[in-house]
Amino acid sequence: MSILWYGVLILITGAERIVELVISKRNAAWAFERGGVESGRGHFPAMVALHTALLIGAFLEAWLLDRPFIPALGWAMLALALLCQAGRYWVIWALGSQWNTRIIVVPGMGLVERRGPYRFAWLRHPNYVIVAVEGIALPLVHTSWITAVVFTVLNAILLLKFRIPAEERALRAA
């Protein structure tokens, strides 16, 4: 895969993130109309910045540091990244109108526990597992290993220290 095609992959992934933000905005309006309460706003800008940096960093590292495309690694990571996209939409489908990039809980609405990946009790936050895997796979399509490592560490800190605790508190409060 040439750096040009990798750039196209990154642009398509960025466009897909914009689609997710549109879905999220629609679902937020739906939730707020039903008395939804938002939590954890403080860490959200950091999440947006980190995910944006993943896309930019992966491409810039591959291009500026002349990272090679190693077919055995690259094609496997591309397949994994594409599976992650399917997983993201499985999560979005399972949560329906309750899915959001922000933490918005509608009082009185139960947890989604029997649809999609949420039916597996051992996997409480499947979307975050998907994000973590994608954060490794997408950069490694073109051996941007520095981006993969930095994103993975920062994403783990953000999720474990801020996002998941904020989400758990919001769900318990509802």
Question: pTM for the whole thing?
Answer: 0.89
The total domain count for the chain is 1
How far apart (Å, rounded) are the C-alpha atoms in residues 10 and 108? 39
pLDDT at 72: 97
Q: Which residue has the tokens 């933000």?
A: 21
Domain range spanning residue 11? Answer: 3-173
CATH of the domain at 121: 1.20.120.1630
Q: Express each pLDDT in 124-164 by its tens digit.
A: 788 999 999 999 999 999 999 999 999 999 999 999 999 99
List the beta bridge partners of residue 103.
39
